[in-house]
C-alpha cells in the first residue's frame, strides 16, 4: 500500500468522501440517502454500463412489473416522489390456475394431497416466523439447515410426489429460482422471516387487490433518483469498470479501467457475483468471500403479450402458476392490465425463450389450455427481455452463511438487493439495501444525521427468542401423523375384508 500513499499530494477532481460502485437501484438509493441529509459528504457513483439503472436498465417493459402495498420501501418511495401508481382492473373474484404435468387442474386436489401441502405451508410459515431466524446463526438447528437444500427439507416434510411438486412450486416462486436443489434451507427461512412468513411472501407473488403497477414503469424510480442526486451535486460516471479497491488506515483507492480515485469510504452496490470480481486489498475474510461465492442466479425471461381485449376474464383472473414438474416454459403469468392502459396485457416469467426449443410446452399452448381458449396467439404485441433474476445462496457450512451488508470490511461496505432482510431479490429489496447501507455508513461517519429508529433498524440486532415449534419437531409430528394414517387405513381395510 505504500506506493499509493503519495499518489495525490493534494485534493483534486478525483477526491470524494464516498464512492458508490454500481449505478443500479441499490447504489442510487444509497447515494440519495446520504446526499439528501446535507451532511457535507461528496458522493460519486461509478457505473460500468453506458447508462444508470443497473438490472432494470434493459427493462423497457418494466411498466408491467408490479409492486404491492406490503412492500414498504417501494411504496414509500413512490409516495415520496409523487410517482403515480396504477392498480389492476377489478374483475371480481376469479380463479387462479395451477398448471400441472397433466394440464390445468380442473378439480380440487384430493384431500390427502391438499392436507400434506397445507401441513407443509403451515410448518414452514410458523417456523420462519421464529425471531431466532432474524440472523443465520441464532437458531439451534441453523448448522443442519445450512448444509441441506430447501428441496431436501421438502422431502423430509412431504411424502407424496405430487404434493412435493406443488410445494417445490411455492418455494421456487418466493425464491425466484427454478431448481430448489441448490437453495440453502437456512437462507429460505431467514428470508421468509424478514418477509413476515411464507404466506405473506406468497401473497406478494401471487397477487391480490393490493398489487399495483408504476405508471411509467419501474425505471421511473431510477430516473427520479438520478435527478435528485444531481440536484444535490452528486456525481455519476458511466462506462467505468472498477477493477481494484485498496485501503489503508487513512484512505481508499478505487481504480477503474480509466483512472484512480481516492475517497474515505466505498459502498460496493452490485450483485454478489460481480462483487467478487473486484480485487480488494487487504483481502476480505475468507468467510465473507465464500459467502458471496455461494450466490447463484437462475436464468429467466420476462415476457409480456398485449391484446386488444382480454380473452381470460370470462372465468379466470389471468394468473397462472405452473408446477415444478409440468414441463412447460411458463413459471408464472399474471394480468398486467390497469385502468389507464387501452390494451390488456398478460405478463410473467418463462424459463427459456418461447421462440426457441420445443422441448417444453409452448407458452401460448399453456395459456389456451388454462383459459379454455384459442385466442392467446392473437396478440398485437409480444416481447421478451432478460428477467431480473434473484440470486440465492447454495447450502454450505454455517460459517459461510452471513449477510455481507452487515459485515463491512474496513472502509468498504457491501449492498445488494440479495442482502435485503425483507424482500431480497426484488425492487423493494434493492431500495431497502440502499437505505440500510447508507445508514450503516452514516453511523460510522455522521451518526448525528440518523434518527434513533434508523439506528435500531439498520444494526440487525439480536432479538430475544420466543418458544416455537422447531423444524425437527415438525418432521416428527408429520411422521407420527403418517404412521397413524397408515394404521387407520390398515385397520379399516381389515374390518372391511372381515365384513
pLDDT in tens for each of the 499 residues of the chain?
Answer: 444 555 444 557 789 999 999 999 999 999 999 999 999 999 999 999 888 777 665 556 688 888 898 899 999 999 999 999 888 766 666 778 999 888 898 778 888 899 999 999 999 999 999 999 988 988 889 999 999 999 999 999 999 998 999 999 999 888 877 788 889 999 999 999 988 999 999 988 887 778 888 888 888 999 999 999 999 999 999 999 999 999 999 999 999 999 999 999 999 999 998 999 999 999 999 999 999 999 987 778 889 999 998 888 777 788 899 987 888 888 899 988 876 667 789 999 988 888 776 667 889 999 999 988 899 999 999 998 876 667 899 999 999 999 999 999 999 999 999 999 888 888 899 999 999 999 999 999 999 998 888 877 766 543 333 344 455 555 555 555 555 555 544 554 555 455 5
Please indicate, yes or no, if residue 354 is contained in any of the structural domains. no
Residues 232 and 131 both lie in one domain: no
What is the span of the domain harbouring residue 158?
A: 95-208+469-498
Please indicate, yes or no, if residue 268 is contained in any of the structural domains. yes
Amino acid 457: pLDDT: 72
Q: Where is the binding site for substrate, in residues?
A: 349
- Count of the separate structural domains present in the chain: 2
The cell for 142 is 441453523
pTM, whole model, 2 decimals?
0.86
From the centroid of its chain, how far is CA 256?
29
* Mean pLDDT value across the chain: 85
How far, in Å, CA of 384 to CA of 367, rounded?
A: 16
Please indicate, yes or no, if residue 430 is contained in any of the structural domains. yes
Rg (CA), the chain: 25
Please indicate, yes or no, if residue 88 is contained in any of the structural domains. no
Query: Exposed, middle or buried: residue 109 (CB in 10 Å: 0-12, 13-18, 19+)?
Result: middle
Amino acid 468: pLDDT: 44
Residues 152 and 52 both lie in one domain: no
Residues 120 and 230 both lie in one domain: no
Q: Which tens digit of pLDDT belongs to each residue from 415-466?
A: 999 999 888 888 899 999 999 999 999 999 999 998 888 877 766 543 333 3
Residue 245 near residue 279 (C-beta atoms within 8 A): yes
What SS3 class is residue 28? Answer: helix
Residues 102 and 199 both lie in one domain: yes
Please indicate, yes or no, if residue 275 is contained in any of the structural domains. yes
Please indicate, yes or no, if residue 192 is contained in any of the structural domains. yes
The cell for 19 is 464512492
Q: Where is the binding site for FAD, in residues?
A: 26, 242, 418
Query: Exposed, middle or buried: residue 257 (CB in 10 Å: 0-12, 13-18, 19+)?
Result: exposed
What SS3 class is residue 442? Answer: helix
Amino acid 310: pLDDT: 87
The number of CA neighbours under 13 Å toward the Cβ of 311 is 20
Please indicate, yes or no, if residue 267 is contained in any of the structural domains. yes
* DSSP state for residue 166 in the 8-state scheme: H
The number of CA neighbours under 13 Å toward the Cβ of 129 is 16
Residue 134 near residue 463 (C-beta atoms within 8 A): yes
Return all residues near 496 (Cβ < 8 A) that are at least 6 apart.
none
Amino acid at each position: 500500500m505504500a506506493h499509493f500513499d503519495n499518489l495525490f499530494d493534494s485534493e483534486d477532481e478525483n477526491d470524494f468522501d464516498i464512492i458508490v460502485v454500481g449505478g443500479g437501484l441499490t447504489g442510487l438509493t444509497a447515494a440519495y440517502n446520504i446526499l439528501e441529509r446535507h451532511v457535507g459528504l461528496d458522493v460519486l457513483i461509478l457505473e460500468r454500463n453506458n447508462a444508470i439503472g443497473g438490472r432494470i436498465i434493459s427493462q423497457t417493459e418494466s411498466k408491467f412489473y408490479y409492486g404491492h402495498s406490503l412492500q414498504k420501501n417501494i411504496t414509500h418511495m413512490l409516495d415520496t416522489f409523487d410517482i403515480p401508481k396504477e392498480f389492476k382492473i377489478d374483475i371480481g373474484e376469479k380463479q387462479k390456475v395451477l398448471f400441472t404435468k397433466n394440464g390445468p387442474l380442473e378439480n380440487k386436489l384430493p384431500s390427502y394431497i391438499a392436507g400434506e401441502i397445507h401441513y407443509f405451508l403451515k410448518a414452514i410459515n410458523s417456523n420462519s416466523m421464529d425471531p431466532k431466524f432474524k440472523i443465520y446463526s441464532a437458531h439451534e438447528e441453523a448448522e443442519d439447515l445450512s448444509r441441506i437444500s430447501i428441496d431436501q427439507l421438502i422431502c423430509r416434510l412431504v411424502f407424496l410426489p405430487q404434493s412435493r411438486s406443488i410445494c417445490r412450486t411455492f418455494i421456487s416462486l418466493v425464491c425466484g429460482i427454478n431448481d430448489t436443489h441448490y437453495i440453502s434451507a437456512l437462507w429460505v427461512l431467514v428470508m421468509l422471516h424478514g418477509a413476515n412468513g411464507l404466506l405473506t411472501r406468497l401473497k406478494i407473488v401471487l397477487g391480490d387487490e393490493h398489487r399495483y403497477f408504476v405508471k411509467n414503469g419501474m425505471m421511473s424510480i431510477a430516473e427520479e433518483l438520478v435527478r435528485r442526486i444531481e440536484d444535490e451535486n452528486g456525481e455519476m460516471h458511466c462506462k467505468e469498470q472498477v477493477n481494484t479497491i485498496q485501503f489503508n488506515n487513512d484512505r481508499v483507492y478505487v481504480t477503474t479501467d480509466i483512472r484512480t480515485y481516492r475517497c474515505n469510504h466505498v459502498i460496493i452496490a452490485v450483485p454478489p457475483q460481480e462483487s467478487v470480481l473486484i480485487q480488494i486489498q487487504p483481502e476480505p475474510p475468507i468467510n465473507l468471500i465464500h459467502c458471496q461465492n455461494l450466490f447463484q442466479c437462475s436464468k429467466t425471461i420476462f415476457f409480456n403479450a398485449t391484446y386488444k381485449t382480454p380473452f381470460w376474464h370470462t372465468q379466470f383472473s389471468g394468473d397462472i402458476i405452473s408446477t415444478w414438474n409440468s414441463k412447460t416454459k411458463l413459471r408464472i403469468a399474471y394480468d398486467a392490465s390497469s385502468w389507464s392502459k387501452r390494451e390488456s396485457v398478460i405478463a410473467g416469467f418463462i424459463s427459456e425463450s418461447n421462440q426457441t426449443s420445443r422441448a417444453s410446452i409452448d407458452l401460448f399452448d399453456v395459456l389456451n389450455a388454462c383459459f379454455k381458449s384459442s385466442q392467446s396467439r392473437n396478440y398485437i404485441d409480444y416481447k421478451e427481455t432478460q428477467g431480473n433474476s434473484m440470486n440465492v445462496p447454495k447450502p454450505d457450512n454455517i460459517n459461510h452463511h452471513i449477510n455481507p451488508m452487515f459485515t463491512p470490511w474496513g472502509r468498504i461496505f457491501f449492498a445488494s438487493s440479495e442482502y435485503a432482510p425483507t424482500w431480497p431479490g426484488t425492487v423493494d429489496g434493492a431500495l431497502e439495501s440502499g437505505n440500510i447501507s447508507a445508514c450503516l455508513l452514516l453511523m460510522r461517519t455522521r451518526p448525528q444525521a440518523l434518527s434513533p429508529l434508523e439506528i435500531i433498524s439498520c444494526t440487525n440486532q439480536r432479538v430475544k427468542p420466543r418458544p416455537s415449534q422447531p423444524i425437527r419437531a415438525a418432521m416428527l409430528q408429520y411422521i407420527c401423523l403418517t404412521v397413524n394414517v397408515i394404521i387407520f387405513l390398515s385397520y379399516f381395510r381389515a374390518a372391511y375384508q372381515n365384513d
